[in-house]
């Protein structure tokens, strides 16, 4: 795999490790850090324009936008917080207290939010209007131990969950029933992404393997090709919006770029000094990567 270009810019200013990223638009990027701060970055000036004390003293795991004036954040303090924006000022309006203090991020499907719980293998669904729990996604563990929920991704009316035992399961968010499961990895699923447009899924593990998969018409998760890299540990994967390439972030501080169609390795992007903890693409295909070193690297590659 070829070594790629240098980053087009480095965003500096986070007080601690960068733990999550979310584009508001091509011009605005939100980042969360290990100290619980949320930064709002102007992508034209490459400067932070605001800092929100989101989850004081606890890592921000997840940032999502419901609409132009509603944001949801999740911290390792066990709180899922709802925010409302008025005249560019975010105000906390509501909170859900979860029982989870792990690293698994939430996901939104329809008007429901999927929240990992303290209970092994279980994810609870909350109605976002009432903030009440309306159901639970808990596998039958009599024949198989799934371990902790490690990654959650909503896809249309379904929720994909990656487990500590290396299994990925698809759940129906309306009936709370497991539609299908497949043993994709030998080690824990650390991250996953899926594009329904191209029916392409990719997941990373605690070992050296990235694995592709698809979902058949009868909801079966079908394992595809496997990519093995030199250094173990993946933290994040993201499929670009045009479904041509995907990026992975690793414990070894590298970002790897692959083609979706053939899983061909395209480039290794090296800048960071510590683990790359989150990767995401803007709608105009600028790749943002957040690291434990406190920096956010921006890359313009294969556009």
Average pLDDT over residues 232-237: 98
- 3: which 2 tokens? 């070594």
- What pLDDT digit, counting tens, does each position of 264-289 carry? 999 999 999 999 999 999 999 999 99
Q: Is the pLDDT of residue 63 over 70?
A: yes
For residue 302, give every residue at least 6 positions away whose Cβ sits within 8 Å of its Cβ, in sequence order, or none: 244, 245, 257, 266, 267, 285
Q: Is the pLDDT of residue 120 over 90?
A: no
What one-character-per-residue DSSP string does 150-164 give? EEEEEETTEEEEEET
Q: Which CATH architecture fits 9-299? A: 7 Propeller (2.130)
Q: What pLDDT is stored for residue 140 in this prediction?
A: 86
pLDDT grade, residue 303 (50/70/90)?
Answer: confident
What one-character-per-residue DSSP string does 65-96 give? EEETTEEEEEETTSEEEEEEEETTEEEEEEEE
- Cβ pair 51, 13 in contact under 8 A: no
- 229: which 2 tokens? 């890299």
User: How high does pLDDT run on average in the chain?
Assistant: 95
Domain boundaries, the chain: 9-299
Q: What pLDDT is stored for residue 207 in this prediction?
A: 95
Give the integer Cα–Cα distance in Å for 106 and 88. Answer: 25
Give the integer Cα–Cα distance in Å for 165 and 194. Answer: 20
Q: What long-range pairs does 165-171 form, CB within 8 A, spacing at least 24?
A: 166/205, 168/192, 168/201, 168/203, 168/213, 168/221, 169/139, 169/221, 170/215, 170/219, 170/221, 171/123, 171/137
- What pLDDT digit, counting tens, does each position of 173-226 carry? 999 999 999 999 999 999 999 999 999 999 999 999 999 999 998 889 999 999
């Amino acid at each position: 795999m070829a070594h790629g270009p240098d980053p087009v810019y480095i965003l500096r200013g986070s007080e601690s490790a960068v733990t999550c990223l979310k584009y508001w638009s091509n011009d605005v990027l939100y980042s969360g850090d290990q100290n619980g701060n949320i930064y709002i970055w102007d992508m034209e000036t490459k400067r932070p324009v605001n800092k929100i004390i989101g989850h004081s003293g606890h890592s921000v795991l997840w940032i999502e936008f419901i609409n132009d004036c509603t944001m949801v954040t999740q911290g390792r303090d066990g709180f899922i917080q709802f925010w409302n924006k008025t005249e560019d000022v975010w105000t906390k309006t509501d909170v859900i207290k979860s029982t989870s203090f792990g690293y698994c991020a939430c996901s939104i499907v329809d008007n429901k939010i999927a929240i990992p719980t303290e209970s092994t293998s279980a994810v609870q669904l909350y109605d976002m209007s009432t903030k009440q729990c309306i159901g639970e996604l808990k596998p039958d563990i009599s024949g198989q131990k799934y371990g902790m929920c490690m990654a959650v991704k909503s896809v249309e009316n379904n929720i994909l969950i990656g487990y500590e035992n290396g299994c990925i399961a698809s759940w129906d968010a309306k009936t709370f029933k497991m539609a299908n499961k497949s043993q994709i990895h030998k080690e824990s699923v650390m991250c996953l992404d899926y594009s329904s447009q191209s029916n392409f899924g990719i997941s990373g593990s605690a070992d050296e393997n990235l694995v592709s998969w698809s979902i058949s018409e009868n909801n079966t998760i079908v394992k595809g090709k496997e990519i093995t890299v030199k250094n173990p540990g993946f933290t994040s994967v993201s499929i670009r919006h045009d479904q041509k390439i995907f990026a992975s972030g690793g414990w070894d501080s590298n970002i790897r770029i692959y083609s979706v169609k053939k899983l061909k390795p395209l480039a290794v992007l090296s800048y960071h000094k510590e683990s790359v903890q989150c990767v995401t693409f803007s709608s105009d295909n600028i790749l943002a990567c957040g690291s434990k070193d406190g920096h956010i690297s921006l890359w313009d590659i294969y556009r």
